[in-house]
Amino acid sequence: MIAECENEFICDMAETYHIYDYRGVPGRLLSTLAAGLRDDSRTIIKLSGAKVPTQTLLLATIADELSGIAWSIGGDRNAKRPELITEKILEIKEEKPELSFASGEDFEKMRKAILEELRNGRNL
């Protein structure tokens, strides 16, 4: 734990147990105290690989869902869908494939194929 995230561990020990020099604490006691850290402590978050505490992610998800509902029942159909907070927190980037065509004929062939797929009710 200390090897992976010593700075976070020092902060958690100071905040939770008012221990400002963990090196002076016996090893067994220190490991017991470390095991008692909350799930939202800096150390546990870093060790788990999470970017934010679970509570923050849940609140962001709720906010995203509410903004999506408000957007869907709103009057302006040309309005852009709100950006998702969770995507920003988790740094999710939607990758859109880029198409390029050597000629206008190639473009028209692809366009016709896509329209044909849509007419047949198939998803691309």
Residue 83 belongs to a domain? yes
**Pair (40, 65) in one structural domain:** no
pLDDT at position 45 is 93
Portion of the chain with pLDDT greater than 70, in percent: 93
Alpha helices in the chain (DSSP H): 6-12, 27-35, 42-48, 54-73, 85-90, 104-119
Per-residue model confidence as pLDDT tens digits over 4-54: 999 999 999 999 999 999 999 999 999 999 999 999 999 999 999 888 899
According to DSSP, residue 44 is labeled H
Residue 26 belongs to a domain? yes
According to DSSP, residue 51 is labeled S
**Pair (66, 86) in one structural domain:** yes
**Pair (40, 10) in one structural domain:** yes
pLDDT at position 86 is 92
Per-residue model confidence as pLDDT tens digits over 67-120: 999 888 886 767 788 899 999 998 877 666 777 888 888 888 888 988 888 887
* Burial tier of 46 (Cβ tally within 10 Å: 0-12, 13-18, 19+): middle
Give CA–CA dist 71/51, Å, rounded.
Answer: 27
Residue 43 belongs to a domain? yes
Of the pLDDT bands very low, low, confident and very high (cuts 50, 70, 90), residue 122 is: low
Domain that holds residue 30: 6-48
**Pair (15, 40) in one structural domain:** yes
